[in-house]
């Protein structure tokens, strides 16, 4: 049911196809984030139009509202949100651990209070798997702990829990139509990351994720972690870099062997007046300098926004506080990342990914 076919490589960059029950995913790929079973401001049809093949939904948020049992009753996430293509759910670990003052961790799981109403809840590895089985995504995540990246002593403790929980998640899984990914942790510490990559690889999951990055560390530290981890993770399985998603991050991640990316940033920026540029950087379209610019965000972008609307119109929508501004900017931002994935894939297959990546870093389009 799940098959990862590696089609081409160039150095560490890869082009592959990952088969799931709801279709095949061509990698490298960027997955828009639909935290609450909805990519903010963008319809499923618009996602299809910009080339999205995989979306992510959030276990923690859907557990609290509307409840995973209700989603299961409604036919699972695919039917509930009317997305017929592959879906990935995280385990809720990052959200639970980000609650700080609202949670208590022990060897068996995490007790926490809802950010919505203060009610008490508990996640264990078994709970995280049960919820994700209710939600019915194609790809699900093991329950892990995402610690602060620079505290070595705490990272050692958290890594022991993450590894034990990965084993328990594998034992708890009952559905065979969901690919369970293990998650590599270990902060910025090379030896801990190597230890984690070796342990998670040894559990023989159908895919592996890299967590705990883009949480405050320096870019060069992220790149070093990716170099270390991807030299150990098996080559015949997909690699998913969790929560990372700027144009620059995609290029550097793909160059280091990452296959799947996700991030809330493109839609968050879209709701806050900013547009990605396809060779790095961004525009704040609220600025007065764009008030009379008749050109699109990017003249060679093929998204609906750039094909139809000027910077001047987008700035007007922003200043008028029209909801359409967030939708149009989100469409563009998502398309930029999806195009980087597909262009990188084509470049790997053609054997010129190095040239493509170097042109990106230089701000040049080829």
Give the C-alpha separation, 254 to 180, whole Å. Answer: 22
How many other β-carbons are positioned within 10 Å of the β-carbon of residue 22? Answer: 18
Residue 229 belongs to some domain of the structure: yes
Instruction: Report the pLDDT value the prediction gives residue 344, as an integer from 0 to 100.
Output: 98
At 51 the three-state DSSP class reads coil
Sort strands 109-113 and 103-106 into parallel, antiparallel or unpaired: antiparallel
Going by the DSSP 8-state scheme, the letter that residue 33 receives in this structure is B
Residue 34 belongs to some domain of the structure: yes
Instruction: Report the pLDDT value the prediction gives residue 101, as an integer from 0 to 100.
Output: 77
Residue 220 belongs to some domain of the structure: yes
Instruction: Report the pLDDT value the prediction gives residue 365, as an integer from 0 to 100.
Output: 76
CA end-to-end distance (rounded Å), the chain: 38
Instruction: Report the pLDDT value the prediction gives residue 366, as an integer from 0 to 100.
Output: 64
Dihedral of alpha carbons 336, 341, 342, 343, sign: positive
Give the C-alpha separation, 45 to 115, whole Å. Answer: 31
Rg of the chain on CA atoms, in Å = 20
Provide the residue-wise pLDDT of the chain in tens; the chain has 366 residues. Answer: 899 999 999 999 999 999 999 999 999 999 999 999 999 999 999 999 999 999 999 999 999 999 999 999 999 999 999 999 999 999 987 787 777 678 899 999 999 999 899 999 999 999 999 999 999 999 999 999 999 999 999 999 999 999 999 999 999 999 999 999 999 999 999 999 999 999 999 999 999 999 999 999 999 999 999 999 999 999 999 999 999 999 999 999 999 999 999 999 999 999 999 999 999 999 999 999 999 999 999 999 999 999 999 999 999 999 999 999 999 999 999 999 999 999 999 999 999 999 999 999 999 876
Q: Structurally, how many domains does the chain consist of? A: 1
Residue 39 belongs to some domain of the structure: yes
| The dihedral formed by the CA atoms of 237, 239, 192 and 57, expressed in degrees to the nearest 10 | -120
Give the C-alpha separation, 60 to 36, whole Å. Answer: 9
Residue 342 belongs to some domain of the structure: no
Instruction: Report the pLDDT value the prediction gives residue 84, as an integer from 0 to 100.
Output: 98
Instruction: Report the pLDDT value the prediction gives residue 123, as an integer from 0 to 100.
Output: 94
Give the C-alpha separation, 313 to 62, whole Å. Answer: 36
Residue 244 belongs to some domain of the structure: yes
Instruction: Report the pLDDT value the prediction gives residue 96, as an integer from 0 to 100.
Output: 74
Residue 323 belongs to some domain of the structure: no
Residue 231 belongs to some domain of the structure: yes
Give the C-alpha separation, 242 to 252, whole Å. Answer: 14
Contact call for residues 130 and 67 (beta carbons, < 8 A): no
Give the C-alpha separation, 248 to 57, whole Å. Answer: 24
The set of residues, in sequence order, having a beta carbon less than 8 Å from that of 236 and lying 6+ positions away, is: 4, 6
Phi, psi (degrees; rounded to nearest 5) at 269: -65, -40
User: Which domain range does residue 220 map to?
Assistant: 3-263
Contact call for residues 54 and 86 (beta carbons, < 8 A): yes
The set of residues, in sequence order, having a beta carbon less than 8 Å from that of 200 and lying 6+ positions away, is: 163, 166, 182, 183, 184, 208, 233
Task: Provide the phi-psi class of 197: left if phi over 0, else alpha when psi is between -120 and 50, else beta.
Answer: alpha
Instruction: Report the pLDDT value the prediction gives residue 1, as an integer from 0 to 100.
Output: 83
Q: Which residues are catalytic?
A: 90, 262
The model's pTM is 0.97
Give the C-alpha separation, 19 to 83, whole Å. Answer: 17
What element of type H or E holds 210?
strand 207-210
Going by the DSSP 8-state scheme, the letter that residue 258 receives in this structure is -
CATH assignment at residue 237: 3.20.20.105
Give the C-alpha separation, 275 to 269, whole Å. Answer: 7
């Amino acid at each position: 049911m799940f098959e990862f076919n590696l089609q081409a490589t160039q150095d560490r960059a890869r082009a592959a196809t990952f088969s799931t029950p709801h279709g095949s995913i061509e990698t490298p790929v960027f997955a828009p984030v639909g935290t609450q079973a909805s990519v903010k401001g963008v319809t499923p049809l618009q996602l299809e139009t910009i080339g999205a093949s995989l979306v992510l939904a959030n276990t923690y948020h859907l557990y609290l509202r509307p409840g995973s049992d209700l989603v299961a009753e409604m036919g699972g996430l695919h039917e509930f949100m009317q997305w017929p293509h592959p879906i990935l759910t995280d385990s809720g670990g990052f959200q639970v651990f980000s609650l700080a003052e609202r949670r208590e961790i022990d060897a068996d799981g995490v007790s926490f209070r809802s950010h919505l109403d203060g009610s008490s809840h508990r996640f264990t590895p078994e709970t995280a798997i049960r919820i994700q089985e209710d939600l019915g995504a194609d790809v699900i995540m093991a329950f892990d702990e995402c610690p602060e990246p620079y505290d070595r002593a705490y990272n050692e403790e958290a890594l022991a829990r993450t590894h034990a929980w990965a084993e328990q998640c594998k034992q708890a899984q009952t559905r065979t139509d969901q690919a369970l990914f293990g998650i590599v942790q270990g902060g910025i510490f090379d030896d801990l990351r190597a230890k984690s990559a070796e342990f998670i690889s040894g559990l023989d999951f159908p895919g592996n994720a890299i967590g705990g990055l883009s949480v405050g560390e320096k870019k060069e530290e992220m790149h070093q972690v990716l170099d270390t981890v991807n030299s150990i993770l098996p080559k015949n399985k997909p690699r998913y870099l969790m929560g990372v998603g700027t144009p620059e991050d995609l290029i550097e991640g793909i160059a280091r062997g990452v296959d799947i990316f996700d991030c809330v940033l493109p839609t968050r920026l879209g709701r806050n007046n900013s547009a990605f540029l396809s060779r790095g950087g961004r525009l704040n379209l609220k600025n007065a300098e764009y008030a009379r610019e008749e050109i699109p965000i990017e003249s060679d972008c093929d998204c609906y926004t750039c094909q139809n609307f000027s910077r001047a119109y987008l700035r007007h929508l922003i200043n008028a506080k029209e909801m359409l501004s967030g939708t149009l900017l989100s469409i563009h931002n998502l398309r930029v990342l999806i195009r980087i994935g597909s262009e990188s894939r084509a470049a790997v297959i053609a054997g010129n990914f190095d040239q493509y990546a170097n042109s990106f870093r230089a701000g040049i389009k080829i």
